[in-house]
Chains A and B, each alone.
Chain A
Amino acid sequence: EVQLLESAGGLVQPGGSLRLSCATSGFTFSDSWMTWVRQAPGMGLEWVANIQGDGSAKTYAGSVEGRFTISRDNAKNSLYLQMNSLRVEDTAVYYCARSAWALDSWGQGTLVTVSS
């Protein structure tokens, strides 16, 4: 069974940093593209970033490019999102998802709140 489990988010001040993790199991992680998607309170889904199985290719949404970094550790079957220079508008539930073209498995999500 495919499982994705995000680490706890939290409350961060504007301008601060936070690193999210996503622990995975039940599939060959190193063969899979992985994606971060976020959802602001009461809003729709927003694609954030993805990364190729070997980590060689990464793509970002314009709203986070230069501030967020997606990475992975295939030895640990884990996906990461380093979030720097956080803004109030980054407040959202963050989901990790496996990308088989479409996003076929999702984690339960973790809430990141950016507020002073």
Chain B
Amino acid sequence: DIVMTQSPDSLAVSLGERATINCKSSQSIFRSSYNKYSLAWYQQKPGQSPKLLIYWASTRASGVPDRFSGGGSGTDFTLTISSLQAEDVAVYSCHQYYSPPYTFGQGTKLEIK
């Protein structure tokens, strides 16, 4: 199974500041037929279902604010929130859909400092 490891486990950032969450896959998740990395990011606010933010490592899902961006290559990926807003308090999880079982990272809890 592909292991997805996020860092840090928790993060506190001041409003308006940048937040960066890391995700490392235990092996390549590059889908050559699409020339893209099979990686997604989800946001889960307290008491809610997860919401897709980013897919193919860097494509924002419909309606996601442009302060959210995804990047990375190889086996290292990042989710960046350029200017943290109060409504961004949530747990963020990465997810590989390259090879079943399609594993998730353990989640990163983002809070306001």
A47 neighbours in B (Cβ, 8 Å): 95, 101-104
A109 nearest CB neighbor, chain B only? B49
Interface size on B, residues (CB 8 A): 24
Within 8 A of A (CB), among B71-113: 91, 93, 95, 97, 100-107
A26 touches B (CB below 8 Å):
no
**A46: CB under 8 A from chain B?**
yes
Please tell me which one of the listed residues A44, A59, A95 contacts residue B101 in the complex, with CB atoms under 8 A apart: A59
A34 to B100, CA, bound (A): 14
Answer yes or no: B40 CB below 8 A from chain A CBs.
yes
- CB proximity to B under 8 Å, residues A7-58: 35, 37, 44-47, 50
A45 lies within 8 A of B55 (CB): no
**Max chain A CB contacts within 10 Å: which of B1, B51, B95, B97?**
B97
Verify if B61 is at the interface (C-beta below 8 Å from A): yes
**Chain A: interface residue count, which band?**
20 to 34
Minimum Cβ distance to chain A for residue B37 (Å): 11
Q: Given A50-B102, A102-B97, are A44 and B107 also a contact pair (CB < 8 Å)?
A: yes
How near does chain A come to B85, taking the closest CB pair, in angstroms?
22
Residue B69, interface by CB 8 Å: no
Q: Which of A45, A60, A61, A99 contacts B50 (CB 8 A)?
A: A45
With both beta carbons as reference points, the residue of chain A lying nearest to B40 in the complex is identified as: A102
A102 CB contacts on chain B under 8 angstroms: 40, 52, 55-56, 61, 95, 97
Bound together, the chains give a CA A45 to CA B105 distance in angstroms of: 8
A46 / chain B contacts, CB cutoff of 8 Å: 104
- Residues of A whose CB lies within 8 Å of any CB of B are 35, 37, 44-47, 50, 59-62, 95, 99, 101-109
Q: A50-B102, A61-B101 are in contact. List 4 more A-B contacts (CB 8 A).
A: A62-B101, A95-B50, A101-B40, A108-B49
